[in-house]
Structure formats: C-alpha cells, structure tokens
C-alpha cells in the first residue's frame, strides 16, 4: 500500500475515533439558590456527595449562595469557596443577586454592590481559566477579551458536541437601576453578556455543534416575554437568545434559578406571532427551602439531546 494512502487512511481512522469519542453520552449536574440557612449549609455537603457518586462531567451552581437577608461578609464567600472546592467533579459557580446586587441592604451589611462584585471575582474567579473542585477543568473566560476583561466570571467550555456558556445575569431586576433609564453597571455588563452569547453561538454554528447550554441566575420572565411583555431588564437578553436559537440548528438549554420553583419546560415563544421555539428547553433548579439538584443526561445524535431529571434531596437518605 502506498505510503500516502496509508497516511490518509490513518488520518481518517484518527478523525473517526475523535468523532466517536465526541459523540459519547455524558451527564452534568446543576443546582442553585442554596444554602440559605443553617440546615442547608449543614446538608449541602451531602448534596455534593450525592453528585460525587454520579458520573458527571461538571457541576454548576447557578447562583445565590446565601439568603437575601444575610450579610455579604468575606467569610461567606470563603466558606462557599471551600464547599465548592470539596466537589470531586469540576465545579462552576455563576453569581446571583443575593451574592452582590442586593448587598446594599442594611441586613446584608450595607455594602457597595460593585465592591462586593469585585470581592466575589477575587475569591471565586482568582483563576478564571479553571473550575473549582478537587479535579479542576480548564475553561475559557471573557477576561481574555480586552474589551470585556473585567468579566472574568463569564466562562465557557465544550464537552463533546455541546458548548457551555455562563453569564452574570442576576435576579432582582438584573441591577437595572431604580430609574427609568438603566444604570452604567447594567449597560456595561449587558454589552459583555451580549458579546459572550454572540461569540458562543458563532462557535457552536461554525463547529457544527449539537447543543448550547446557557447558565445564569435570574428567572428572566420568559413567559411574559412571549406575550410581548416581560421585565425590561431581561427583554433585550431574551430577544438575543430567541434570535440565536432560531439561527442554531441544534438544541439550546437555558439553566437558571431565582424563583425557587424546579421545572423543566419549553416556554420560549416569539412575541411577534406567539410561535413556539421547539429547539429551546428551560431547566430551573431547586431553591430554598427545597434542596436538590438536577442531573442532565446528554445523548448526542438523539432527540431530545438534553434529558434533565430532578433529584430532590432527603436528609433521611442523604445522610
């Protein structure tokens, strides 16, 4: 057999092996809005242990690592960092409103939210290019984009044919501000969010990926958006997600927390004509006072691509 042909066949075999590996099924876990009290703080290690017992590629906490009336002291961040670091799986954290935007409340210590955001970045994203957990995973960060270098909390990574994208989009109105016009922080961060979403979908389309997973903390009022209403602080974001999803041949999964109602549904509709967006699924994670996590099985080449299952936590079985 000529050497050139052998080389070509070897290359084809190598590419086939890579494609087969990329198409292997995998699973990941998501949770959020916990711990909110002493009970949840005591039992969160057991929830993490439940996830440790599963074959998961990554675990993602979609925000709110304390309750809305609890102080935003440095010690809270350090405690949660240690918890996340105990995970056997790579562990990703996405900021929530209780973690920075609401820290101005007197009960929270009357902190400056922007100062707390910088503190949060220094604690949880000291190295924005890797996850937490005992066996960290390498990720990309928007900090590598000179135009948006401050947003080190925006991360992404690929597992098989699925791209994961995290976004700092918190509840409590997305830090829009109390006036009719949005505040400077909201405008700057929204520009970074738009760029990160656009870049993620561009990569997914160019690589022919099968899925995109977006993770943020806020419940963006998807149902009201489809009715032509909805919170103005999330309207532009949802319009972009709608447009990108329409242009993407694969499946889109949005994971969020915020309203503490675990659900799995397909709520995205075009406000222009009310048409449903069939390749979009939403997973809202459990939230205090209900503890638990969601296992998402990913089956490349099949429909549905994402198969989420809620795992409610019971202290009787979790201890």
Question: What was the pLDDT predicted at 23?
Answer: 80
pLDDT digits (tens, 9 = 90+) for 34-44: 999 999 999 99
Which among 223, 232, 213, 305 is positioned nearest to 259, based on CA atoms?
A: 223
DSSP lists the bridge partners of residue 159 as: 162
The secondary structure element, H or E, covering residue 264 is strand 263-265
Question: What was the pLDDT predicted at 230?
Answer: 82
Domain coordinates of the chain in residue numbers? 22-318
Question: What was the pLDDT predicted at 80?
Answer: 98
Kindly report the backbone phi and psi dihedral angles of residue 285, in degrees, each rounded to the nearest multiple of 5, phi listed first.
Answer: -80, 165
Question: What was the pLDDT predicted at 8?
Answer: 42
Are 250 and 209 spatial neighbours (Cβ–Cβ below 8 Å)? yes
Provide the 3-class DSSP secondary structure of residue 162: strand
- Angle of helix 38-52 relative to helix 74-85, nearest 10 degrees? 20
User: Which tokens in the block code for residue 249?
Assistant: 């041949």
- Could you give the CA distance from residue 257 to residue 61 in angstroms, rounded to a whole number? 9
DSSP lists the bridge partners of residue 308 as: 296
Q: What is the pTM of this model?
A: 0.92
Q: What is the pLDDT along the chain (319 residues), one digit of tens a residue?
A: 455 444 443 433 333 334 444 589 999 999 999 999 999 999 999 999 999 999 999 999 999 999 999 999 999 999 999 999 999 999 999 999 999 999 999 999 999 999 999 999 999 999 999 999 999 999 999 999 999 999 999 999 999 999 999 999 999 999 998 888 999 999 999 999 999 999 999 999 999 999 999 999 999 999 999 999 888 999 999 999 999 999 999 999 999 999 999 999 999 999 999 999 999 999 999 999 999 999 999 999 999 999 999 999 998 754 4
- Could you give the CA distance from residue 168 to residue 171 in angstroms, rounded to a whole number? 10
User: Which tokens in the block code for residue 52?
Assistant: 């440790």
Question: What was the pLDDT predicted at 180?
Answer: 82
**What CA dihedral angle connects 210, 212, 213 and 217, to 10 degrees?**
-160
Residues whose CB is less than 8 angstroms from the CB of residue 193 and which lie 6 or more positions away in sequence, other chains included: 154, 167, 168, 169, 237
User: What CATH number matches the domain at 22-318, 3.60.21.10, 3.40.50.300, 3.30.460.80, 3.40.50.2000?
Assistant: 3.60.21.10
Long-range contacts made by residues 299-307, C-beta under 8 angstroms, separation at least 24?
Answer: 299/25, 300/22, 300/23, 300/24, 300/25, 300/160, 300/161, 300/162, 300/210, 301/23, 301/210, 304/251, 305/162, 305/210, 305/211, 305/250, 305/251, 306/211, 306/213, 306/251, 306/253, 306/281
Question: What was the pLDDT predicted at 141?
Answer: 98
DSSP lists the bridge partners of residue 297 as: 27, 307
Which among 213, 210, 238, 240 is positioned nearest to 226, based on CA atoms?
A: 238
Which among 220, 222, 210 is positioned nearest to 270, based on CA atoms?
A: 222
Question: What was the pLDDT predicted at 225?
Answer: 95
pLDDT digits (tens, 9 = 90+) for 7-32: 443 433 333 334 444 589 999 999 99
């Amino acid at each position: 057999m000529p050497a050139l042909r052998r080389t070509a066949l070897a290359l084809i075999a190598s590419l086939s092996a890579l494609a087969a590996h990329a198409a292997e099924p995998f699973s990941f876990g998501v949770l959020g809005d916990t711990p909110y009290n002493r009970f949840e703080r005591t039992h969160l290690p057991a929830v993490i242990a439940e996830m440790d017992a599963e074959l998961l590629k990554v675990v993602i906490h979609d925000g709110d690592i304390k309750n809305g009336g609890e102080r935003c002291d440095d010690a809270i961040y350090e405690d949660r960092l240690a918890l996340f670091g105990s995970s056997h799986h790579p562990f990703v954290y996405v900021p929530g409103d209780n973690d920075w935007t609401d820290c101005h409340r007197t009960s929270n210590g009357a902190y400056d939210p922007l100062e707390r955001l910088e503190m949060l970045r220094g604690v949880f994203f000291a190295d924005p290019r890797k996850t937490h957990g005992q066996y960290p995973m390498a990720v990309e960060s928007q900090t590598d984009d000179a135009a948006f270098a401050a947003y080190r909390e925006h991360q992404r990574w690929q597992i098989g044919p699925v791209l994961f994208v995290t976004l700092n989009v918190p509840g409590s109105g997305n830090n829009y501000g109390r006036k009719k016009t949005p505040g400077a922080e909201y405008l700057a961060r929204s520009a970074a969010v738009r760029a990160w979403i656009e870049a993620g979908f561009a990569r997914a389309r160019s690589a022919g990926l099968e899925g995109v997973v977006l993770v943020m903390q806020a419940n963006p009022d998807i149902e009201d958006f489809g009715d032509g209403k909805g919170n103005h602080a999330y309207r532009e974001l949802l319009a972009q997600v709608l447009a990108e999803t329409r242009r993407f041949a694969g499946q889109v999964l949005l994971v969020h927390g915020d309203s503490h109602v675990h659900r799995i549904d397909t709520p995205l509709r075009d406000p222009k004509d009310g048409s449903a967006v069939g390749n979009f699924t939403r997973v809202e994670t459990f939230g205090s006072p209900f503890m638990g996590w969601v296992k998402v099985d990913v089956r490349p080449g099949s429909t549905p691509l994402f198969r989420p299952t809620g795992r409610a936590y019971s202290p009787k079985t979790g201890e």
